[in-house]
Amino acid sequence: MTAHHFVGEGGYSERLRLAAGDAEGLLAQVSAEVDAAGLQVMAEQAVPFPGGGATLVWVLAESHLVLHLWPEEDHATLDLHICDYRSENEARARRLRDALDGFCFAPGSSAWTELAVGSRRLVGA
């Protein structure tokens, strides 16, 4: 099986900062980005933590997306895993990664790693 796995981190974008206080709204905004990339949300959940942090999870038909928020550090991380089980999803995975980069991270603050999964080679190593 081939899959596309991206891990990103960076400082909050202004859009994320505005959305972070409303977990339901943030779930909806990111779900819209998933849909726009041509992927499908099956379930979603937000778990808040004391101090304003949160972990948000989207179970996708193609795998998953997890967003961790650390407002006290002005920092967020993303874990995006998209499988090619029934169709070639590389372009969709990259489109979603790029959309989430702009939505979640301040310009110039993000760092992404692409991890090897299945028959794919590690990119950027």
- Name the residues annotated as catalytic: 63, 68, 83
Pairing of strands 63-70, 75-83: antiparallel
Q: What residues contact residue 74 under an 8 Å CB cut-off, 6+ apart?
A: 11, 12
Cα 74 to its chain centre, rounded Å, is 17
Tell me, what amino acid is at 66? V
Distance CA 112, CA 107 (A): 13
**CB of 76 closer than 8 Å to CB of 104:** yes
Order of strands across the sheet that contains 41-48? 41-48, 54-60, 63-70, 75-83, 3-11, 111-115
